[in-house]
Amino acid sequence: MSRSDAIRNQAARALLAVGEGRSLDRALSDEVDAAHAQSGFARALVYTALRHAWSNAAILRRLRSEPGRAPPPRINAILTIGLTELRFLATPTHAAVNESVEAARREAATSAGFVNALLRRFLRERVSLEAAINGDREARLEHPAWLIDRLAADWPSEFAHLCQAGNKPAPMWLRVDARRSSRSDYAQRLAAAGIESRPPVTPDFALCLREAVSVDQLPGFESGEVSVQDAAAQRVVDALDAQPGQRVLDACAAPGGKTAAIAERTAKLQCVTIERDSVRAQRLRQSLARCRVDAAVLIEDATEVQRWWDGVPFDRILIDAPCSGTGVIRRHPDIKHLRRPADIAVHVRDQARLLDALWPLLAPGGRLTYATCSILRDENDLQIAGFCRRTPNARLLPLALSFPPGMDLTDVDAAMAVALWQNPSGARDEDGFFYASLQRSH
């Protein structure tokens, strides 16, 4: 096996692993040799194949002479990888076909001719095949039907754009540690290293890179002078509005980016972080140590308050709630494949439990900020509305955050919460996020 077709076999196995229920990160770790010279190419193949799985599947169904009879899973995965390469990557056509054929031959010698025939037929009929699948809503929007329906119900004017934005690679955002550098100074260091960046109007310490780079190339990354964090996630600093010396709880803290962002901007905080998973808690500790943030790390279920709370109220509480992740699909395309409709109700129930359990820990006059990386209303403004109905001493606070232009948000009160995403004008290219802040009156 040549090194190039070996990497396509690895990519196909990773693609299959996601189809069987493994996360994308786990599938890549298990199936792709990180030491291989083309491991980055394999990752690009898998990410792109997952983003465009529905249109690829629709085309493959049309290419097969017996549409109801699919090839064995590994051969189908190799076909999908090959089709992805032909449709979306810059590999020369003959190389993409030949290497896919060799990858198929490695799996089953009798399949090589079949793969060759289908990929060459695609090249001959590409224009008509691409046109034919436009009538298939899943293929056109590259999302499962149930999720398209949910987005259409929540955002009737914007759902098609939201799907399309979720199918694009995300930019690489950085957060500069405000304690150690200004944004402009760090941008100059990047430029000296040959890395081009641009500053948004807000957040104040964010930079967006023109092209993604390895963190090893970022000046001062290992010493915590800069971190990788989407601009939407960095807005937690303004949403929480922590003040120097306050006691702050981050109730779902791993991997630690939001805790670090808050601590970097606010002096002398007393930070308590909670993470129920021990492996994620270890990553949380490592992240906080790299960023030079002093915080207590508790491995607990945040809702089991009696197990971990010392009885001292918190001035600020952040609930970065477990959610569907529908606002970060562009970074995690496996979400489209792994989420199920029933998962949303489970998240909504767990989010409500967190809100109800942690609210009594907030000091009178204190602020609780609820955040998700979801763009589904059940997890966002409807969740907060339900909490306010059952919590008389909770008052929604205005947020110093702006909506992206060009969005119809008449059903959401801009004074209470904000949903961010890549907007059609391109003026903002952030993940889909929701924030709401509530003050305890007594």
In a domain, 165, yes or no: no
Q: What's the whole-number mean pLDDT along residues 295-312? A: 97
Number of domains comprising the chain = 3
In a domain, 207, yes or no: yes
Same domain, 296 and 396: yes
In a domain, 166, yes or no: no
Same domain, 91 and 240: no
Q: What share of the chain is helix, strand, coil (3-state, %, to 5)?
A: 50, 15, 35
What pLDDT sits at residue 429? Answer: 85
Same domain, 209 and 78: no
Q: Is 442 a residue whose pLDDT tops 50?
A: yes
428 within 8 A of 442, measured Cβ to Cβ: no
Sign of CA dihedral 151, 152, 153, 158: positive
Q: Is 223 a residue whose pLDDT tops 50?
A: yes
Query: Given 208, 228, 248, which residue is the final one in a domain?
Result: 228
Q: Is 168 a residue whose pLDDT tops 80?
A: yes
DSSP class of 169: P
| CA atoms of 64 and 82, how far apart (whole Å) | 15
Q: What's the whole-number mean pLDDT along residues 188-197? A: 98
DSSP class of 211: S
In a domain, 115, yes or no: yes
Same domain, 260 and 193: no
Percent of the chain at pLDDT > 70 equals: 92
In a domain, 84, yes or no: yes
- 204 pLDDT tier (thresholds 50, 70, 90): very high
What pLDDT sits at residue 399? Answer: 77
What pLDDT sits at residue 404? Answer: 45
Burial (CB count <10 Å: 0-12, 13-18, 19+), residue 219: middle
What pLDDT sits at residue 147? Answer: 98
Q: Among the options 252, 323, 373, 388, which is catalytic? A: 373
Q: What is the residue range of 128's domain?
A: 3-142
Measured from the Cβ of residue 406, the count of other Cβ atoms closer than 10 Å reads: 14
What pLDDT sits at residue 4? Answer: 57
Q: Is 229 a residue whose pLDDT tops 70?
A: yes
Q: What's the whole-number mean pLDDT along residues 345-350? A: 98
- Residue 309: which CATH number? 3.40.50.150
What pLDDT sits at residue 202? Answer: 84
Q: What's the whole-number mean pLDDT along residues 350-360? A: 98
Length of the chain: 442
Q: Is 176 a residue whose pLDDT tops 70?
A: yes
In a domain, 160, yes or no: no
Same domain, 222 and 254: no
pTM of the model: 0.93
In a domain, 210, yes or no: yes
Q: Is 238 a residue whose pLDDT tops 50?
A: yes
What pLDDT sits at residue 403? Answer: 47
pLDDT tens, residue by residue, 136-157 = 999 999 999 999 999 999 988 8
Same domain, 219 and 243: no
Same domain, 212 and 240: no
Percent of the chain at pLDDT > 90 equals: 85
What pLDDT sits at residue 347? Answer: 98
Kindly write down the DSSP assignment for every residue of 131-160, as one continuous string.
HHGGG-HHHHHTS-HHHHHHHHHH-TTTHH
What pLDDT sits at residue 414? Answer: 39
| CA atoms of 382 and 384, how far apart (whole Å) | 5
Query: Given 100, 119, 142, which residue is the final one in a domain?
Result: 142
In a domain, 426, yes or no: yes
Give CA separation, 198 vs 174, 194, 203, 205, 231, in Å: 10, 13, 12, 11, 12
Same domain, 88 and 183: no
Q: What's the whole-number mean pLDDT along residues 414-441? A: 68
- Residue 217: which CATH number? 3.30.70.1170
Same domain, 204 and 244: no
Same domain, 246 and 197: no
Q: What's the whole-number mean pLDDT along residues 172-196? A: 97
Residue type, 210: R
Q: What's the whole-number mean pLDDT along residues 15-31? A: 97
Does the annotation count 388 as an active-site position? no
Same domain, 342 and 431: yes
Q: Is 361 a residue whose pLDDT tops 90?
A: yes
- 398 pLDDT tier (thresholds 50, 70, 90): confident
Same domain, 195 and 311: no
Q: What's the whole-number mean pLDDT along residues 305-333? A: 97
| CA atoms of 122 and 71, how far apart (whole Å) | 16
pLDDT tens, residue by residue, 405-423 = 444 443 344 334 445 554 5
- Residue 135: which CATH number? 1.10.940.10
pLDDT tens, residue by residue, 69-125 = 789 999 999 999 999 999 999 999 999 999 999 999 999 999 999 999 999 999 999
Q: What's the whole-number mean pLDDT along residues 348-354? A: 98
